[in-house]
Structure 1
Amino acid sequence: MSEEPVTRPVPARRRDTRLDAYAHNYAERTFGMTASAIRALFAVANRPEVVSLAGGMPNISDLPLDVVSSTLSDLVAERGTQAMQYGAGQGEPMIREQICEVMRLEAIQAHPDDVTVSVGSQQGLDLLTRIFCDPGDVVLCEAPSYVGALGVFRAYQCQVSHVAMDEHGLVPEALTEALAAHAAAGRRVKFLYTIPNFHNPAGVTQTLERRERIIEIAQAAGLLVVEDNPYGLLGFDGDPTPAIRSLDADNVVYLGSFSKTFAPGFRIGWVLAPHAVREKLVLAQESATLCPPVFSQFAISAYLSRHDWRGQIKQFREMYRERRDAMLAGLQTHMPAGTTWTRPTGGFFVWVRLPEGLDAQAMLPRAVSARVAYVPGNSFYADGLGSRHMRLSYCFPTPERIIEGTRRLGEVMAHEASLHETFGFLGSGAAGGPYEAPGANQS
């Protein structure tokens, strides 16, 4: 006699007070997604009474808006139906040719067929991580590193392993040690992510000797190098340093952008990759967006064709140099004893090390109350370190506002230091870490 099948009650669906009714449906990788510390500051930092030394917004007030306006008007009148249509997943041929011309300023010899246009270089990094990384794969990054890159790696469930840097950029010996440690542990390192020029957030630049040594190490280890270079043409002293890509076309993927040398609102960047990688990038791009923004590509291409874009970059460099000088002067005048900072030769950022006992994260609400904003250093580490550092941006405020911002910040820091002296340890700012502090002795 057969037994009756056992039936078990279906568990009731949870009905609790959570605000998101779909929380149980999300993919596992979403649990690693967190809001950018910089984006979270925007609402406060954009108040007119607050001097924001936080965001990295380019100052596009020096753009020739009359030229841009007439260029866009002519584009719509002459090629509007083409510019407002779907395009190729790899990007339009004319702008890929012009991108190769731009990269020649950094000694890169490239073919347009190896360029994939992306929605800003941020999407390029996302696509690269998508095609290379499985959950648990290791990505090597400088310590500290760009917060947007850390967000991408976290979203794809990568394990970020930081490599020490100093005032000359990533330390080659630290890279060798990291590769050996991961190999011994049986972990797969998929690529090294590096920002060699005017680093975000550290403000330092890799020397040519360091670049050559990093390539030697990467070649010996079979390691792909991802070179992110949004600021490379915005140096204040002399010609650009040759890109890492110019030293090795077979093992380096280069990320570029028009956001800093033209305008970020068009959202056009690019990836220069070895041919086989480019093919997979195009497939990933087509699945993500079908095609990068066609109108933006036509607009930038027309601008590059009709305007002295090299002269415009020179004008940007002079404007940012003036702001950098104001930042360094303000720090020299207003920072309390024990504060050190980097001295960038280009780009947008200064990396500040606080006096012993101060914690940038804990101090931020008091700074905002004093009407000045910055980004705490722990935002730029995957392992929670960096609380004794902060990133200051000089790209957007006027020189006068920068000076005032450093004055307000100096007063907050001096007050915090006084409290620390009186009452002792206030937070985690005194805690050390395994990394070099870029430019710690440059003040």
Structure 2
Amino acid sequence: MKTKWDQLFAERTRNICGSQIRQYFALTERPEVISFAGGFPGNEFFPTAEIAAAVSGLMQEEGNRSLQYSSTEGSMELRSLIAEKMNRQKAQCNPENIIITDGSQQGIDLLSRILINPGDPVLVEEPSYIGGTSAFKSHGGIPVGIKMDQDGPLPLSMEKAISMQITEGKQPKMFYTVSNFQNPTGVTTSYERRLEILEIASRHNIIIVEDNPYGELCYEGEIPPSYKSLDREERVVYLGSFSKILTPGIRIGWMASPGPLIEKAILTKQSTDLCSSSLGQQLAYRLSREGFVEKHTRKLIDLYRRKRDIMIEAMDHYFPPDIVYNKPRGGFFIWVDFPSFYPTSKELLELALQNNVAFVHGEGFSNSEDGGTHSARFSFSQPLQEHIETGINKLGKLFREIETRQSLKTVEKV
């Protein structure tokens, strides 16, 4: 008898669903496609020579340690270095309140395992990072979107969402936010807005999960103080990562959290993966200690700023004026809003792929039924500079053809 897998899967796996975005990635990997889809670092910016030299040095000096298991909470050297870095940013922290994770994504998963019961509401930005909402859903959480404007999450929307959940007999436990150069919109939450969100969270005993993978990639101006630095009630859990400032391949991030939560995180991680990569931790520590990561980050800021400017200039030149987009001060993403008479962004993506260009339609980031239908995320981080203008030019021609057809339809009706 053939195995009946549907009878064997745990009930909780019914909540696991594939991302609407991932299904397009196989198409975007075709060599002829210019992809603005993936939120990946630029391959050409990886410091391969420096990493190779660091690995060689580790093998000669600390080979056994780098290849052995580490403690679940991670290397004390690396945690101390991270704590020093956070303290310089006024986010008071000590090594004992830090756990090393497999990128910040594992931090989201650990928090979901620790805090979410099936059916629990989880407050998220609208639109929101798909990796976060997917993790919450996989543990039975129900993402509840908080509307945003150019200054971040709207306090009134948050108050209404909390009141509605309480009316239904549910108490939200946490609010998940990418506070700097948000994925997918590129929006940075203002200082005043952060204070308002903290006050709301305090009144309702809600934890703020601050995911900050892009905060160090600031191209102009200064970012506001982190939620963590403004926290006076041990209410903020901070997630950081080396993925965007060094390389995602080493899979090293961290969670900085109040003591009661960090203890649960260590126990939960023990049963998940025992520990994060010792070699990855040693690489992150060695390259940070020697000052390379800080130096490399400054270089990345210049390189990514140039890519952003090329994309914005191309959009200014080639896109019809009816299309609206922002100019993020950092990070990887530009959020684009199309007129309502356009096809949906999902349909636009299909048309774009026929022209060998890809982006991500907005529906995949939305937590409402009709959200993101005429919006899209464009990433400027991965495509080569010389491909950015070419791809935007192709899309500009497509969008102008759509507007021409719409104009002809309007004339025919008249």
Which category describes the TM-score, using the shorter chain as reference length? over 0.9
1:369 has 2:354 as partner: yes
Aligned AA for 1:362? E
Alignment of 1:139-288 (within 5 A): 139-248=122-231, 250-288=234-272
CA offset at residue 346 of structure 1? 0.2
CA deviation map 1:72-131 (0-9, x unaligned): 101011111111111101111011011123324532121000001111100110000110
8 Å CA contact retained: 1:60, 1:263? no
Name the SS of the counterpart of 1:54 in structure 2.
coil
CA deviation map 1:144-194 (0-9, x unaligned): 000111111111121111011001111112111211221122112120001
The farther-off stretch of 240-249 and 158-167 is 240-249
Partner of 1:437: none
Partner of 1:334: 318
How has the CA–CA distance of structure 1 residues 65 and 307 changed in structure 2, closer, same or farther, with 3 Å as cutoff?
A: farther
TM-score, with length taken from structure 1: 0.88
CA offset at residue 227 of structure 1? 0.5
CA offset at residue 362 of structure 1? 1.4
Partner of 2:394: 408
CA offset at residue 352 of structure 1? 0.4
Aligned AA for 1:267? R
Partner of 2:307: 323
CA offset at residue 367 of structure 1? 0.5
How has the CA–CA distance of structure 1 residues 383 and 27 changed in structure 2, closer, same or farther, with 3 Å as cutoff?
A: farther
Aligned AA for 2:296? Q
Partner of 1:354: 338
Name the SS of the counterpart of 1:164 in structure 2.
strand
Name the SS of the counterpart of 2:21 in structure 1.
helix
How has the CA–CA distance of structure 1 residues 388 and 155 changed in structure 2, closer, same or farther, with 3 Å as cutoff?
A: same
CA–CA separation in structure 2 for the residues paired with 1:103 and 1:319: 25
Partner of 1:431: none
TM-score, with length taken from structure 2: 0.94
Aligned AA for 2:358? A
CA deviation map 1:45-96 (0-9, x unaligned): 1222111000011125334433221111010111111111111011110110
Aligned counterpart in structure 2 of residue 295 of structure 1, from 264, 279, 300: 279
Gaps of 5+ in 2: none
CA deviation map 1:299-333 (0-9, x unaligned): 11111122432221111111111011111111111
8 Å CA contact retained: 2:47, 2:246? no
Name the SS of the counterpart of 1:48 in structure 2.
coil
Aligned AA for 1:347? G
Name the SS of the counterpart of 2:135 in structure 1.
helix
CA deviation map 1:198-227 (0-9, x unaligned): 000001101111111111111111111101
How has the CA–CA distance of structure 1 residues 217 and 408 changed in structure 2, closer, same or farther, with 3 Å as cutoff?
A: same
CA–CA separation in structure 1 for the residues paired with 2:22 and 2:113: 23
8 Å CA contact retained: 1:198, 1:204? yes
8 Å CA contact retained: 2:152, 2:188? yes
1:31 has 2:17 as partner: no
Aligned AA for 1:48? P
CA deviation map 1:342-399 (0-9, x unaligned): 1100000000001222211012121111010000000001223211000000011123
Partner of 1:129: 112
The farther-off stretch of 74-83 and 237-246 is 237-246
Aligned AA for 1:113? E
Partner of 1:116: 99
Alignment of 1:50-89 (within 5 A): 50-89=33-72
CA–CA separation in structure 1 for the residues paired with 2:110 and 2:402: 43
CA–CA separation in structure 2 for the residues paired with 1:379 and 1:417: 25
CA offset at residue 416 of structure 1? 3.0
CA–CA separation in structure 1 for the residues paired with 2:88 and 2:222: 8
Partner of 1:345: 329
Name the SS of the counterpart of 1:289 in structure 2.
coil
Name the SS of the counterpart of 2:296 in structure 1.
helix
CA–CA separation in structure 2 for the residues paired with 1:287 and 1:199: 31
CA RMSD of aligned residues (A): 1.7
Name the SS of the counterpart of 2:100 in structure 1.
strand
CA offset at residue 421 of structure 1? 4.6
CA–CA separation in structure 2 for the residues paired with 1:310 and 1:201: 25
CA deviation map 1:240-268 (0-9, x unaligned): 42111111150000111000011000001
CA offset at residue 423 of structure 1? 5.5
CA–CA separation in structure 2 for the residues paired with 1:397 and 1:146: 21
Aligned counterpart in structure 2 of residue 308 of structure 1, from 277, 292, 308: 292
CA deviation map 1:20-42 (0-9, x unaligned): 84022212222232222333222
The structure with more radius of gyration: 1
